[in-house]
Chains A and B, each alone.
Chain A
Amino acid sequence: MADYIVEMKHITKRFPGIIANDDVSIQIKKGEIYALLGENGAGKSTLMSMLFGMYEPDEGEIYIRGEKVKLESPNHATKLNIGMVHQHFKLVSNYTIAENIIMGMEPVKKAFGFIPVVDIKKANEEIKALSEKYGLAVNPTDLISELNVSTQQRVEILKMLYREAEILIFDEPTAVLTPQEIEFLLEIIKGLRDNGKTIILITHKLEEIKRIADRCAILNRGKLIDVLDVATTSTKTMANLMVGRAVSFETEKKPANFGEVVLDVNNLNVMNKQDFRIVKDVSFQIHAGEILAIAGVAGNGQVELADAIAGLMPVHSGTILLSGEDITNMPIRQRTLQGISYIPEDRQNYGLVMNFTLSENLALKDYFKEPYCHKGVLDHREFFENSERLIEKYDIRSGQGSETIVRSMSGGNQQKAIIAREIELDSHLMIFVQPTRGLDIGAIENIHSQMIAERDKGHAILLISLELDEIMDCADTIAVIYNGEIQKIAPADTLTANEVGEFMMGVKKQGKREEASV
């Protein structure tokens, strides 16, 4: 037994209304990368929060290096050389990198021989040396507020290493990173293992596990399903176990049946806050029963385009027609009533009121109408009934049902709530901006099938996504945007993923190909 550095035995943890962990036992060897795989809300983070001393288990025991321990606080866990990188970084934004790392363990020198002061010079040197040792190049005197997300994450890793952590827990570390940054992070994690550290990786991304993990524990709804050797297991098997049913990697789709034009965008131009033309002369149409997907690398104007159609950004020039009616300068609520559903990219800031209950959030788009509102007075019973119905229909999981504060829900269920609300509006046009970002495979599959079901009902759908796979799977028509301009617009079955990729990079131009063929 001594070769296990961490053992968690028969752990059970209950929260009001939910069993987060149900008799879970895991054993982790020294020097391995151990992945915890599970859907959003499967209890991975809760389990690790207990290992890090943030919660105490209701039942069960924890052994570290063969010794039974009762972890009372993160402080205590730190003393046992356990470190954790949280999903939300715990950094002080107006401090330097070095100040953040040393906080709580500052090197001290004596000013005038007796007054203890923080020795920031020594700290800077120590951090510099530490970051070089592990190949995490950072400049100790940079301010946190000036760093990008991936560097901030490196600071969090350094924080653990500075505290001489041997067991490193990463909570969904790649959720906030770009593909290149993910590559870099995975290399760092491998490097840490090669330095003898034990890594616990919480994730729902199968590719990452396949790439770096040694073993993988799969959780579903709080229960431990299986522990697998990653090398000998296929991603398909892992996915099925994680979701608890057979997952189809391919989206099933009936042939499209186009109706009338629903959305007609003509020569649309949008300026961003810096008065830079970010959407340039964009024109396209979406028919009833069509999914038009806009493909593009992040920051090429696709989000601004969607915002302009939804009314969040003013249109500089050009027109937007919805079912023949000019909505170019209509206020947002008017547009909603005309028939636009909008699933925003930033779900926490634009999609939900985080401190409201689920039932209130589910009525955000029609609370001012009958039956929710009689002559200006809200009817909370209607809110409740509506929300109970949607929770059931869309399988929105939360601690206290309709009364749950949305902030406490997992990201996947927050997104489910938004989608439920927007689909229920039964709008002619539904705009999905990155609907599956940060979600696990089961939730993604679910959202895709809902989107396609809406198409089949005869709604027009505008899908904006950075994931090429998602676009290839779902779209009937693909428009590729680069630098604010539509490079190419064509039926999905006439394009390959490679071609779309080239248009996205701006490498290939519609005009050029025609010239070449002449």
Chain B
Amino acid sequence: MDIIIIDGLSFALPLFIMAIGGIYCEKSGVTMLAIEGLQGVGAFIGALMAVLFAGNFAGNSPVPFYIAMIFATIGGSVFALLHALLCLKFKANQVISGVVVNIMAMALTAYLTKLLNRLIFGAASDKFVLAVSARITIPGLSKIPLMGAVFTNLYPFEIVIIIVAFLAWFVMYRTRFGMHLRACGDNPHAVDAAGRDVNKIRLAAIMICGALSGLGGICFAYSISANFSASIYVGYGYLAIAALIFGNWRILPTLGACLLFGFARSGGYRLVQVLQMPSSYQDLVMILPYVLTLLLLVFFSKQNGAPRALGEIYDKGAR
């Protein structure tokens, strides 16, 4: 049971922070399908920096991981500028732009990984090998029956994510910026009439989304795969989008959706172990979150709280 909670959380939280990024972007009225690509680029930049700096630190030092996190957010938000450029400047279709960003991210990072491995490290490899992040257990709290698992064997990034998520909530619902951002997704004309620049707000939202996606990506790289390679693109970005839709574009319900996905996944793995099924069944279990997605869609697609102006290209002159 404990292991389900521990693994579930470590999967759900990076998913959650990516979903928050998506919420930021979509709440500002820009369709965001590029989370998959953004998290990959974020993870790539983060992993690259981690390997570059790893030599300067002791083998078990956590510092490279924090460096990786910082650069992952920067990398994600810079790459998100591509989406902003296409959607805001050239007023391209936002769905297509998102898909383009995803495809480009995948191809570009796979290529650059090989290239840089050869150039810098002189090795023919298509991955950056990272350490698995150390885990911590919070004394005291972890002794609570059942709930204690939540505080056991935590990845440090889980704490970072919780803090960032809270900040994200605060900014969105308590500050002027957040208020303008949410208004952009409902009626950008109202924001314009209030004297704010809709495109600037949307640009900021897209960059925040890139940053949070990148953060989610590097967390996956450090926990699930322990390396960066093209295998980071297994659809978690899309799962984050599904989560934010089930969460009705609201942060707390989205956390619920992410936890559900996380526990479904870890529970499935546990099942395979307990029943001592051949390991090939693990791949089958991997589809659990997606089957759940399909089922939830049946129930939740009706109560749709999508931002009203989502995907609409903002044109000042339009009536």
| Closest beta carbon of chain A to B36's beta carbon, Å | 28
Which residues does chain A contribute within 8 Å of B180, judged by CB atoms? 103-104
A91 touches B175 (CB 8 A): no
A118 touches B186 (CB 8 A): no
> Interface digits, A123-142 against B, CB 8 Å rule (1 contact, 0 not)?
00000000000000000000
Whether a CB of chain A sits under 8 angstroms from the CB of B282 is no
Which residues does chain B contribute within 8 Å of A93, judged by CB atoms? 186-187, 308
B180's closest neighbor in chain A, by CB? A103
Which of A94, A99, A111, A407 has most B Cβ within 10 Å? A94
Question: CA of A108 to CA of B174 in the docked complex: distance in angstroms?
Answer: 10
* Known contacts A103-B180, A116-B175; A92/B195 CB under 8 A: no
Whether a CB of chain B sits under 8 angstroms from the CB of A78 is yes
A106 touches B176 (CB 8 A): yes
| Closest beta carbon of chain B to A248's beta carbon, Å | 32
Which residues does chain A contribute within 8 Å of B179, judged by CB atoms? 95, 99, 103, 106, 118
Question: CA of A105 to CA of B192 in the docked complex: distance in angstroms?
Answer: 13
Q: Which of A139-168 contact B (CB under 8 A)?
A: none
Q: Which of A95-126 contact B (CB under 8 A)?
A: 95, 99-100, 103-106, 108, 111, 115-118
* Known contacts A78-B195, A100-B190; A407/B318 CB under 8 A: yes
A117 touches B174 (CB 8 A): yes
Whether a CB of chain A sits under 8 angstroms from the CB of B196 is yes
Whether a CB of chain B sits under 8 angstroms from the CB of A75 is yes
Q: Which of B182, B192, B318 makes the CB contact (< 8 A) with A74?
A: B192
> Interface digits, B180-217 against A, CB 8 Å rule (1 contact, 0 not)?
10110011011111111000000000000000000000
Which of A78, A108, A116, A118 has most B Cβ within 10 Å? A118
Which residues does chain A contribute within 8 Å of B192, judged by CB atoms? 74, 90
Whether a CB of chain A sits under 8 angstroms from the CB of B89 is no
Q: Which of A60-88 contact B (CB under 8 A)?
A: 73-75, 78, 86, 88
B307's closest neighbor in chain A, by CB? A94
Whether a CB of chain A sits under 8 angstroms from the CB of B319 is yes
Question: CA of A115 to CA of B195 in the docked complex: distance in angstroms?
Answer: 23
| Closest beta carbon of chain B to A68's beta carbon, Å | 23
Question: CA of A106 to CA of B196 in the docked complex: distance in angstroms?
Answer: 12
Which residues does chain A contribute within 8 Å of B191, judged by CB atoms? 92, 103-104
Q: Which of B271-319 contact A (CB under 8 A)?
A: 308, 318-319
A104 touches B187 (CB 8 A): no
Which residues does chain B contribute within 8 Å of A115, judged by CB atoms? 170, 175
| Closest beta carbon of chain B to A123's beta carbon, Å | 11
B316's closest neighbor in chain A, by CB? A54
A54's closest neighbor in chain B, by CB? B316
Question: CA of A44 to CA of B148 in the docked complex: distance in angstroms?
Answer: 70
* Known contacts A103-B179, A117-B174; A91/B319 CB under 8 A: no
B186 touches A74 (CB 8 A): no
Count of chain A residues with a beta carbon within 8 Å of a chain B beta carbon: 26
| Closest beta carbon of chain B to A138's beta carbon, Å | 17
| Closest beta carbon of chain A to B307's beta carbon, Å | 8
Question: CA of A92 to CA of B196 in the docked complex: distance in angstroms?
Answer: 14
A118 touches B175 (CB 8 A): yes
Which residues does chain B contribute within 8 Å of A90, judged by CB atoms? 187, 189-190, 192-193
| Closest beta carbon of chain A to B309's beta carbon, Å | 10
A106's closest neighbor in chain B, by CB? B176
A95's closest neighbor in chain B, by CB? B183
Which residues does chain A contribute within 8 Å of B193, judged by CB atoms? 74, 86, 90
Which residues does chain B contribute within 8 Å of A103, judged by CB atoms? 179-180, 183, 190-191, 194, 196
Which residues does chain A contribute within 8 Å of B189, judged by CB atoms? 88, 90
A95 touches B186 (CB 8 A): yes
| Closest beta carbon of chain B to A49's beta carbon, Å | 10
Question: CA of A115 to CA of B318 in the docked complex: distance in angstroms?
Answer: 37
Question: CA of A111 to CA of B190 in the docked complex: distance in angstroms?
Answer: 27
| Closest beta carbon of chain A to B166's beta carbon, Å | 13
Which residues does chain A contribute within 8 Å of B308, judged by CB atoms? 93-94
Which residues does chain A contribute within 8 Å of B186, judged by CB atoms? 92-95
| Closest beta carbon of chain A to B26's beta carbon, Å | 14
| Closest beta carbon of chain B to A303's beta carbon, Å | 24
Question: CA of A94 to CA of B308 in the docked complex: distance in angstroms?
Answer: 9
Q: Which of B30-89 contact A (CB under 8 A)?
A: none
* Known contacts A90-B189, A91-B190, A92-B186; A108/B176 CB under 8 A: yes
A92 touches B175 (CB 8 A): no
| Closest beta carbon of chain B to A126's beta carbon, Å | 16
B187 touches A92 (CB 8 A): yes
Question: CA of A117 to CA of B179 in the docked complex: distance in angstroms?
Answer: 10
B195 touches A91 (CB 8 A): no
A73's closest neighbor in chain B, by CB? B195
| Closest beta carbon of chain A to B209's beta carbon, Å | 20
Question: CA of A75 to CA of B192 in the docked complex: distance in angstroms?
Answer: 9
Q: Which of B176, B195, B319 makes the CB contact (< 8 A) with A407?
A: B319
Which residues does chain B contribute within 8 Å of A74, judged by CB atoms? 192-193, 195
B183 touches A92 (CB 8 A): yes
Q: Which of A363-413 contact B (CB under 8 A)?
A: 407-408
B187's closest neighbor in chain A, by CB? A92
* Known contacts A92-B183, A92-B186, A407-B319; A104/B174 CB under 8 A: no
In the assembled complex, 30 residue pairs joining A and B whose CB atoms fall closer than 8 Å, in A order, are A73-B195, A74-B192, A78-B195, A88-B189, A88-B319, A90-B187, A90-B189, A90-B192, A91-B190, A92-B183, A92-B190, A92-B191, A93-B187, A93-B308, A94-B308, A95-B183, A95-B186, A99-B179, A103-B183, A103-B191, A104-B180, A104-B191, A104-B194, A105-B194, A111-B174, A116-B175, A117-B174, A117-B175, A118-B174, A407-B318
Further pairs besides A74-B195, A100-B190: 15, Cβ < 8 Å = A90-B192, A92-B191, A93-B187, A93-B308, A94-B308, A99-B179, A103-B183, A103-B196, A105-B194, A106-B176, A108-B176, A116-B175, A117-B175, A118-B175, A408-B319
Which B positions have Cβ atoms within 8 angstroms of A? 170, 174-176, 179-180, 182-183, 186-187, 189-196, 308, 318-319
Q: Which 3 A-B residue pairings sit nearest by Cβ, starting from the closest?
A: A104-B194, A75-B195, A90-B190
